[in-house]
Amino acid sequence: MLRDGYLIRLRYRAPVATLLFLMLLTTGCSSGGGAGAPAASAAPPPAPSLTEKFSSIFSSSSPKPQAAAATGTAAAPQQDVDCPLIDIRQGASTLQIPPPSGDNGTLSLKYQGTFVRAARECAVVNKQMVMKVGIEGRVIVGPAGGPGQVDVPLRIAVVQEKTASTKTIFTKFIRKTVEIPPGSDGTNFTHVEEGITFPLPPASDIDSYIVYIGYDPLTAEAEDKARSKPKPKPKPKVKPAPTG
């Protein structure tokens, strides 16, 4: 069962720019014709709201069941289950991309990434929790930015947090390419991660499970450095000295 509907309120203090952006999304302009105004011949169908668009990313597929059991038949997914809450990892709620020079001044900012909303869906198959997590974010163009492709590094992790310990159950690093069109001050992006699977925790422990999302530029930087390192040259083979 999808807890609290498709949209999960993220438990973090959003930046002012993000709050203003969300207010604009939920506030529409309306105008009414005066007396005697000609009636429209045919009203166009209402455009889908951002909520409907985001919810539709889950309609393409459902949590994938695990492999068939030994009898040759797979167990039917159990949908009526508690689903771990979604939160944003502390310190990973925004992404700032400066120019290649590394200047971190405000005027040198190329792009800034924020999170708009997130959702999750759960099912139990063969005593395994199978999750699907959807993320919607926004990349804003900074003073030094412009149109083009932006590499957005994301991290999704399922963590069990208890008073005396913290245990990572699942973690995955994702690189998302976001296209900024010409003349735009920013664009939204979505990512859906399917097949997040881990052993079903006891009912008494499910509240200690949290799905964390966040930006992870450090892993992206480490990957880029590893790729840029020159490969070691193979050592020349030494011919054995002739005998006799």
Could you tell me the mean pLDDT of each successive run of 10 residues in the chain, 244 residues long? Answer: 41 42 42 45 57 57 46 55 90 91 75 94 92 94 94 97 92 96 94 93 91 96 87 72 66
User: Minimal CA–CA distance to 96: which of 35, 41, 139?
Assistant: 139
**Architecture (CATH level 2) of domain 1-20+77-227:** Sandwich (2.60)
- With 0.75 as the threshold, say if the pTM is over it: no
End-to-end, the C-alpha distance of the chain in Å comes to 81
Rg (CA), the chain: 24
